Amino acid sequence: MKSLVVYYSRTGITRTVSQYVAEALCADVEELIDTKNRKGPLGFVLAGKDAALKKLVPIEPPKTNPAEYDLVILASPVWANTMSSAIRAYLTKHGKEIRAAALLSTTHTSGIAESQRDMRALLGCEVIAAAGFRQKSVKRGEHIAALDAFIGNCKASSPAEQA
């Protein structure tokens, strides 16, 4: 199974989750770079505003082609009850090129279902696995069992595995 993990992370939580999955699936990794400055309190407020308005922000051009992969895992922090702006920009441009997807979200407390509903709407394919984690659980390492189950679902449900 040829897999790609595409993620955006502002403060490292989604990166931690994404790197674990990439290692377990021997996947290639695409870290999305939001060209807007998201640092500090002002960056936080503007990020929330961009996400709430569902703005398409410029991201650096991806280095990988999602159409070349059996499975693309998309990982985003929840921003304003939806996906981060960089993931929205990526999915708006490339969502319909993805052949099979799996979704990962990280959050402070809530918004996983809403965020993943919005991500699904930008895809033209089946979502074979989905999971979401609170940042507190990730920091404490309490998410690992559920993340391993997600990885197991990716392996079991991949169209390439069933072929």
Ligand X SMILES: Cc1cc2nc3c(=O)[nH]c(=O)nc-3n(C[C@H](O)[C@H](O)[C@H](O)COP(=O)(O)O)c2cc1C
Interface residue with ligand X, options 5, 6, 13, 89 (CB under 6 A):
13
The least CB distance from residue 48 to ligand X, in Å, is 4
- Binding segment for ligand X among 25-33, 66-74, 100-108, 153-161 (CB under 6 A)? 100-108
Interface residue with ligand X, options 123, 135, 147, 154 (CB under 6 A):
135
Residue tagged 């403060």 (tokens): 11
List the one residue out of 130, 122, 124 whose CA is nearest residue 157.
130
**Is-contact 21 104, C-beta < 8 A?**
yes
Rounded distance, CA 19 to CA 27, Å?
9
For ligand X, the closer of residues 3 and 18 by Cβ is 18
**Is-contact 99 67, C-beta < 8 A?**
yes
Chain positions 18 to 77 lying near ligand X, rule: CB under 6 A, are 44, 47-48, 51, 77
Q: Indicate the burial class of 138 (C-beta count within 10 angstroms; 0-12, 13-18, 19 or more).
A: buried
Interface residue with ligand X, options 3, 5, 9, 88 (CB under 6 A):
9
Interface residue with ligand X, options 3, 14, 19, 116 (CB under 6 A):
14
The least CB distance from residue 122 to ligand X, in Å, is 18
**Is-contact 100 159, C-beta < 8 A?**
yes
List the one residue out of 102, 78, 101 whose CA is nearest residue 88.
78
The residues that touch ligand X, with contacts defined as CB under 6 A, are 9-15, 44, 47-48, 51, 77-81, 106-111, 135
